Structure 1
Amino acid sequence: MCFQCGTAVQPGAPACPRCGAPAAPAQPQPYGMVAPQPYGTVQPQPQPYGTVPPQPMSPQAQPPRAPRRGPFGLSTGKVVAIGLTVFLILVVGMVAVLVAVLGIGRDGPDSAVKDYFGALAEGDAGKALAQTYEGSAAAQKNPLLTSAALADPARRPSAVAVGKVYKLPGAEAWRVTVAFVANGKDLSMPVTVRKIDGEYVLVEAFTEVRVSPESTAGVTVNGVQVPEGGTNLVAFPGSYEIKVAGTPLIAETVVLAEQMSGSHAYASIFSRDLAPGVQKEVDKQVRAKLDACLKSTSDAPSGCPFRAFLPGEKPTVKWTMPTYPKIEIRSTLTSETGSARFSGSGTAHYEADYRDFFGAKKHEAGNDQIYLYGNVTVKDAELVVTFTN
C-alpha cells in the first residue's frame, strides 16, 4: 500500500502505480508472535481509506519429530525388548548350568539332602530312607533306622542348614556338609549324593554309633533295644541316649553321645555306679561273716581275716572285735566282670589259753590288726560277698 496516496501496491512493485511514490519495504513479522491485547473488549482501529485490515497470523504447524534410532537403525523400544530377551535367555542358561553341573535345583542333590533331613526332623524314618540308596532294606538289619529311634524330638536333627554343593570328579556324585542342631548342640556331618537311574540318592547318610566295652549286654539306644554285643551300630544322624540295664550290683547307666567329626558317635561305659542299697547289703554280709569268725576258738580261724600268733600248742582262744572294719567298695565296676572289690580295716582282740613247748599252761591276750579284702558278685540275682585273705 502506498504510504502517500493509500493506493494498493502489489507485493514486489518498486513504486505506486498511481502517484509514483516508491514502495515501502515490507517489515518482517516475528514468527509465531501475537501482539499483546489490552484486557477487555478489543476495539478495531480506524484505517486509512482503501486499507485492507491486517489478518491475524495463524501459528504455523510444528514439523513432526523423527523417532530416535538405536543401533542398526532400530527404535529404542525394540532395542529394550531385544535386551530383555537376551537377559532372560542368559538367566535360563545359568539355571540350566547349575542344575546340570552342580545338580542344584528342585530335583538336585541339595533337594534330596533337604528332603532327607526334613523327614528326620519330622520323625519319619520311612520317608527319610526313601532318599537313600539303601532304602527301607537298611532298617531290616539296623533297628536304629526306624521311627522308634526318632521318637524323642531332642534326638532328631533340627535347624538344618545345607551347605555348598561340590561336584565330585569322575562320576555323577556330589558332596555337601550339613549343619544341624541335636540335643541343643551344634553338629555337622558330610553327605555324599549320587545320581542313580535318574534319581538323586544319599549314599553316606548314616552315623556309626560305637558303644564300649563290646561285651555290654542289655543296651538300648534312643529307647530301642539292640542285639547283645551289637556295639557297632548304624543310626540316623542326631543325638543318642545310650542306656545299659542295671543288675542287683550295678545301677542302670545312661550315657549321651553326639555326632563327632565325620559320621561317628562314641560312648564309653567302662565305669559304672553301684546299684542303690549295695553298700548296705555288703556291710551286712561282711559283718555276718566276721561274727561267724569270732565264734571260732582257733588261733587261726579258716577263711577269716585275723589270727593269734601263740608260742605254744593246744590253744583255746576267745575272739572279740572292738572295731569292725569300715568297708569301701573301691574298684571300678565294669559290665564285663559283673563284680566289685572291697576292702576295710579294723581290730580283733583275743584271749588265749595254751601250753608252751615245755607243757606249761599259759594265758595271753592281744590284738590283731585286720586288713580285709574281698569281692562282691551276683549269683541268681543275689549279691554274694567273699573274703580273699
Structure 2
Amino acid sequence: MPEATEDLARRGDRAFLAIGIAVALWLVATVIVLPIVMPDGPSQAVTDYLGALRDGDVDAAYDAAGAERHDADAYDTSFLRSEALSTDWRIQSVWTSDDLSPYDAKLTGGIEPEGHETQPGVRVVNAVISHGDATSRGQFYVQETGSRDFILNPFVYADAGATLGFVDLNGVTSPAHRADNGDKLTKKDSFALFPGFYRLYQHNDDLFRADPSTLMVLPGTDVDISTSLSLTDKGNKAAAKAVRAQLDTCEKSTQLAPSDCPFNPLDDGAADSVDAYDHEYRDVKDIKWKVLVAPKFDIEPRDGEGPGDFELVPRNYATIRLTAVGVDIYSDSDKAKRFSTVCPIDPEDLVLTVTASKSFTVSGPAHTYAGRACGRDH
C-alpha cells in the first residue's frame, strides 16, 4: 500500500475511534444525569385504574381501585358497565400531592376516609385526561395500607339536570331523574359514572343537537348532565308529525274532554257539562269533533320546568267544533237537543317527549279542571 494511502487510513481509524469514545461518554453522562422516575404506589393505582377504564376493562378497573361493585349502590349505576365506556381518550399525567388537601364529602360521593385530616396513609393523587384538545383534571383519594392501595373515590356522581326524559352516554341509555313539580331529588336520582370521556345522545343526532355533546369527567368536580337542545330539520318534521297524529286521534274521540288533547269544553270541571257561549249543557252525549282551523306552532325546548322535553308555541288561533246532544240548563225543558259550539285548540297544553327509541310521544292534561269557554258556532 502506498505511504500516503496508509496515512489516510490511520487518520480515519483515529477519527472513528474518537467519535466512538465521544458517543460512549455521552451515553454514560446521560445515564448519570437523567433521573429514573418511578411512580409511587398511590399514583400507580390511579394510573392502573384509569388505564383499565380506557381499555374498557371494568373488572380490571375494580381490581386496580380495590373497589367493589356494590360501593355505588346508593346511586343509579346504569352506566357502570363496559358498554358505556369509550376508549378514545388519553391519560396525560398522574402525580401524588405532597400535602393532603382538606376533605370534601362532595368530591367523594359522601364516602369520608377515616381520619383523613390526620391520617398520613391517605394521599391525594391528581390526574389529567384528554380527548383531542380538551382536558379534564381531577383528584383521587388513595388509602395506603402497606399491602396495597385503595382508591376511596373511584366514581363520579352526576345529576341529569334539565335534560331529556332519558340519558344517553356513549350509546347506553337510562331514564333520567328530574325534579318535576318540586319533587326533591335523592342520591338514587344521581348517576354514578366511571371517569372518562362520554358522548351525549350520539344516536339521536339526526333528530336533535345536544350542546354540549360530550362530557369528560374525573372525581373532584360536580357533574351535571345538562344540555341545550335544538331540533334538526328531520327532528322538527318528526315532532310535528307526532303532534298532527295526536290531533287526528283527538278529533276521532267520542269523549267530551279526551285526555292528551289540547281542548276542553268542561264547565267547572263537571264530567258532562259544557260551557257553550251563552248556553250550558248537561248530560252531554253523542259527541263528535271536527277541526275547523288547524293549529300552527313552533316547537321549542322546555326550560327544565314541568314535564316533557319540548313545548309548542302557537302561531295562530286554532279551533275545533263540538257537535253533541245535551240538556240546556237555562231552558225550562229537560228534553235533550242537538247543539254545536266552537272551542279553542290550545297547543301549548301539549308536551313532546323524545324516547330512547328515537321517536316523539305527545301528552297533555287529563282535563280534571274547567276549560276555556267555547263560542257560538256561526
TM-score, normalised on structure 2?
A: 0.47
Q: Which structure is richer in relative contact order (CA contacts within 8 A, separation 6 or more)?
A: 2
* Higher Rg: 1
**Which structure shows the higher helix fraction?**
2
